[in-house]
């Protein structure tokens, strides 16, 4: 079929007995068209085999019909992190229904990341972006405001921001994990944290420390890793090699906790008899480890869906407000138990 053979919006309008404007509203899911009329238009489009022209759509509306996600992480680390595939799947579940594309760029560092945002805005390739991996004093907030690129932040920044945030209270999940270990009788509770420049790494560390202090216990050792399995394994070995090793370790994500569990097994340390372990994320594999992992559950897929809806609403000119997701929840499994006598 040549371009001229393809049905157009005008063809759909004639078949449905409506205006081209009504067809545009119906096909783009916009209000202003009665449901009966919308159903008739969609039926006509299907009967004609009409498919949208992304190029024509973009030219007629001065929109890219795409949103961006720029990741400043090593590609191999991004591939190993189970959060982002679930988050992207949730976002795509919304974007595909709205005929929007996701532009994903993985860049090597902060300078390249800034250049990427500037190019996306200057070239009109995206209408807005998801801002993930928030940093302490994150400079990207001011950059995106400066270049007038709409954004939704995953988490609430610690700097002034005009952008809506989709927020999960991660502190309550870490606090519940630490309180669970304290209730079991643990006093030497260590933490394997994420990078300190990531806001969620700093937040989880602060929640671990605050909960121990509130329980009347001194914070144990805290080692900073990089959210990777290799980083979790290195930190675990260092903790276990101390003169007085911890009886419990709270990890900032499941990937590092899984690696820590492997290190303990490698050394003949019984989990949870000699060492209790908790994770964060409740990834699919967490329940199938031996022993199954006590962890903190968040809904990355749901987070992606809500973030996509919030960003598209912002792009459409609707007022942007912060959205509070359900708080993280502790899932107790068999990797935690009272400390050995």
Looking at per-residue pLDDT, the higher value among 129 and 11 belongs to 129
* % residues pLDDT > 90 (the chain): 71
Q: What is the pLDDT of residue 26?
A: 79
pLDDT at 70 over 60: yes
**Domains 3-51 and 66-168+300-326 belong to one CATH topology:** no
Flag whether pLDDT at 231 surpasses 50.
Answer: yes
- Which CATH topology does 170-297 take? Rossmann fold (3.40.50)
The string of pLDDT tens digits covering residues 122-137 is 999 999 999 999 999 9
Q: Which residue has the higher pLDDT, 30 or 116?
A: 116
Looking at domain 3-51, its CATH architecture is Orthogonal Bundle (1.10)
Domain ranges of the chain: 3-51, 66-168+300-326, 170-297
User: What pLDDT score was predicted for residue 82?
Assistant: 80
- Residues of the chain with pLDDT > 70: what percent? 93
- Mean local confidence (pLDDT), 99-119: 92
- Give mean pLDDT, residues 42-46: 86
What would the mean pLDDT of 242-264 be, rounded to a whole number? Answer: 96
Give me the pLDDT at residue 264, please.
98
State yes or no: pLDDT of 55 exceeds 90: no
Specify the fold of 66-168+300-326. Rossmann fold (3.40.50)
Q: Does the pLDDT at position 316 exceed 70?
A: yes
Predicted local confidence at residue 29, as pLDDT: 65
Q: Which tens digits make up the pLDDT trace of 157-168?
A: 999 999 999 999
Confidence of residue 1 (pLDDT cuts 50, 70, 90): very low
What average pLDDT does range 64-80 have in this prediction? 83
Q: Read off the pLDDT of each residue in 200-212 and give the average, rounded to a whole number.
A: 96
Position 59 confidence tier, pLDDT thresholds 50, 70, 90 = very low
Confidence band (pLDDT; 50, 70, 90) for 291? very high
Tell me, letter by letter, the H, E, C secondary structure of the chain.
Answer: CCHHHCCCHHHHHHHHCCCHHHHHHHHCCCCCCCHHHHHHHHHHHHHHCCCCCHHHHHHHHCCCCEEEEEECCCHHHHHHCCHHHHHHHHHHHHHCCCCCEEEEEECCCHHHHHHHHHHHHHCCCCCEEEECCCECCCCHHHHHHHCCCCEEEECCCCCCCCCCEEECCHHHHHHHHHHHHHHHCCCCEEEEECCCCEHHHHHHHHHHHHHHHHCCCCCCCEEECCCCHHHHHHHHHHHHCCCCCCCEEEECCHHHHHHHHHHHHHCCCCCCCCCEEECCECCHHHHHCCCCCEEEECCHHHHHHHHHHHHHHHHCCCCCCCEECCCCEEECCCCCCCCCC
50: pLDDT confidence band, cut at 50, 70 and 90? confident
Over residues 143-150, mean pLDDT? 96
Higher pLDDT, residue 293 or 50 = 293
State the pTM of this model. Answer: 0.82
The band of 3, judged by pLDDT with boundaries at 50, 70 and 90, is very low
Res. 74 pLDDT band, cuts 50 70 90: confident
């Amino acid at each position: 079929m040549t371009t001229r053979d393809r049905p157009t919006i005008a063809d759909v309008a004639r078949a449905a007995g409506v205006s081209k404007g009504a067809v545009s509203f119906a096909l783009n899911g916009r209000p202003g068209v009665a449901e009966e009329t919308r159903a008739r238009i969609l039926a006509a489009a299907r009967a004609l085999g009409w498919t949208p022209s992304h190029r024509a759509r973009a030219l007629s509306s001065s929109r890219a019909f795409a949103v961006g996600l720029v990741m400043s992480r090593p590609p191999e680390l991004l591939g190993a992190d189970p959060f982002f595939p679930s988050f992207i799947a949730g976002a795509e579940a919304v974007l595909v229904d709205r005929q929007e594309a996701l532009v994903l760029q993985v860049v090597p560092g902060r300078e390249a990341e800034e250049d990427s945002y500037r190019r996306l805005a200057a070239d009109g390739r995206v209408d807005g972006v998801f801002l993930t991996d928030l940093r302490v004093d994150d400079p990207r907030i001011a950059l995106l405001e400066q270049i007038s690129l709409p954004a939704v932040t995953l988490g609430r920044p610690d700097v002034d921001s005009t952008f809506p945030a989709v927020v999960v209270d991660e502190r309550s999940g870490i606090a519940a994990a630490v309180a669970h270990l304290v209730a079991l009788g643990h006093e030497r509770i260590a933490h394997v944290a994420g990078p300190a420049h990531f806001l969620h790494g700093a937040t989880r560390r602060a929640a671990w420390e605050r909960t121990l202090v509130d329980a009347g216990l001194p914070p144990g050792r805290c080692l900073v890793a990089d959210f990777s399995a290799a980083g979790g394994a290195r930190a675990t070995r260092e903790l276990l090699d101390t003169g007085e090793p911890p009886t419990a370790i709270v990890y900032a994500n499941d990937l590092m906790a899984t690696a820590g569990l492997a290190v303990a097994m490698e050394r003949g340390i019984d989990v949870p008899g000699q060492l209790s372990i908790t994770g964060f994320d409740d990834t699919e594999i967490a329940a199938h480890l031996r022993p199954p992992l006590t962890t903190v559950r968040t809904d990355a897929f749901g987070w992606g869906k809500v973030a996509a809806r919030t960003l598209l609403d912002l792009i459409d000119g609707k007022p942007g407000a912060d959205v509070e997701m359900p708080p993280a929840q502790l899932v107790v499994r068999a990797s935690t138990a009272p400390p050995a006598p």
